[in-house]
């Protein structure tokens, strides 16, 4: 990675960590819905995103790729609007090549294959990258998607973030294989395993996979081995099922600190620079949240939107009945 890329990546990683802390505090104050922190996985998420060209390539997120989504063009305001329930203001802009998050585990994988197949059919020199976890790798959707991707030789990177825990299920109870990347061979394309806490290793592995896909070489499965330091989401209590010593060991291998040390030794980073950027991030988060908090809440009609292109008669009837019974919501944030 070039010096400017390293600085961009480190800023994104710091933004991610700050966003985690910011959103968790908001959730604890009942100002924000369920939140899944990135903590511990910043190198895997940011390193892979840095290998994509937001102008041409598509990204299909899972549940904890916030810095990747921001790097790909999603405004921070839209991200926070979604988390705070201001759904009318959380939409993905039409010029941002990003799919909506899919909360049904692994359901985004077939969508990603279809998108990549469309890129190929249209003759575009673009690729798609889809994120998923070790838990999603145990779902049938993964196997069906991988099989079709191999058959059609689509320009898709399956980016598997193995953080060792699918909520409370350890990876050891999901597979007897030595690693998950070996599955790629069964579908006729390349698979590799990378240290997911090493920003540079993740970036290089993804860059090579992107170049191969862009040149017609088909899909790649990248397994990034990392650790979910935080909880699965704000409804979870990992102390019920994890050994705290295991968590402490992961914290000692903090991916942000690894990049910080490298950049400092290379003479492109300093404590003063980090203090300046951290202040910028804090200011941006607070200002953006104040703006989002002032936005109007969606009305009851919102639950009927974005489901059908044309609402069936029965749905319109249900909507009209509900709207006639409920008062309009308060516009306060």
Active site (catalytic) residues: 228, 232, 241
Helix extents (H) in 162-240: 199-214
* Spatial distance between the Cα atoms of 180 and 192, rounded to a whole number of angstroms: 9
Q: Both tokens of residue 80?
A: 């926070």
- Tell me the C-alpha distance between 162 and 125, whole Å: 29
> What's 94's DSSP letter?
T
Taking the C-alpha atoms of residue 176 and residue 66, their distance in angstroms, rounded to an integer, is 31
Chain-centre distance for alpha carbon 234 = 16
Question: Coil, helix or strand for 116?
Answer: helix
Residue 3: partners with Cβ closer than 8 Å, 6 or more residues away: 266, 268
What 3-state class would DSSP assign to 114?
A: helix
Question: Distance of CA 41 to CAs 45, 148, 286, Å?
Answer: 6, 29, 24
């Amino acid at each position: 990675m070039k010096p400017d890329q390293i600085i961009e990546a480190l800023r994104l990683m710091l933004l991610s960590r700050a966003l985690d802390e910011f959103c968790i505090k908001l959730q604890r104050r009942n100002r924000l819905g369920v939140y899944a922190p990135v903590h511990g996985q910043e190198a895997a998420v940011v390193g892979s995103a840095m290998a994509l060209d937001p102008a041409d390539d598509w990204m299909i997120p899972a549940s904890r790729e916030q810095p990747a989504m921001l790097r790909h063009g999603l405004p921070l305001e839209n991200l926070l609007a979604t988390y705070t329930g201001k759904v009318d203001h959380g939409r993905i802009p039409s010029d941002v090549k990003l799919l909506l998050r899919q909360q049904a585990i692994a359901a985004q994988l077939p969508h990603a294959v279809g998108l990549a197949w469309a890129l190929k059919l249209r003759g575009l020199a673009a690729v798609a990258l889809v994120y998923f976890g070790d838990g999603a790798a145990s779902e049938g959707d993964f196997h069906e998607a991988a099989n079709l991707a191999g058959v059609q030789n689509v320009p898709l990177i399956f980016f598997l973030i193995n953080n060792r825990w699918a909520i409370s299920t350890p990876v050891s109870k999901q597979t007897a294989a030595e690693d998950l990347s070996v599955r790629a061979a069964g579908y006729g394309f390349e698979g590799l395993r990378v240290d997911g806490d090493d920003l540079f290793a993740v970036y290089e592995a993804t860059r090579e996979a992107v170049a191969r896909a862009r040149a017609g070489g088909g899909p790649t499965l990248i397994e990034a081995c990392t650790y979910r330091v935080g909880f699965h989401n704000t409804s979870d209590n990992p102390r019920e099922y994890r050994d705290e010593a295991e968590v402490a060991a992961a914290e000692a291998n903090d991916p942000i600190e690894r990049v910080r040390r490298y950049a400092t030794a290379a003479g492109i980073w300093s404590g003063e620079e980090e203090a300046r950027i951290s202040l910028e991030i804090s200011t941006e988060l607070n200002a953006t949240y104040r703006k989002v908090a002032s936005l109007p809440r969606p009305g009851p009609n919102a639950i009927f939107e974005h489901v059908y292109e044309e609402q069936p008669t029965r749905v319109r009837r249900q909507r009209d009945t509900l709207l006639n019974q409920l008062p309009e919501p308060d516009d306060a944030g």
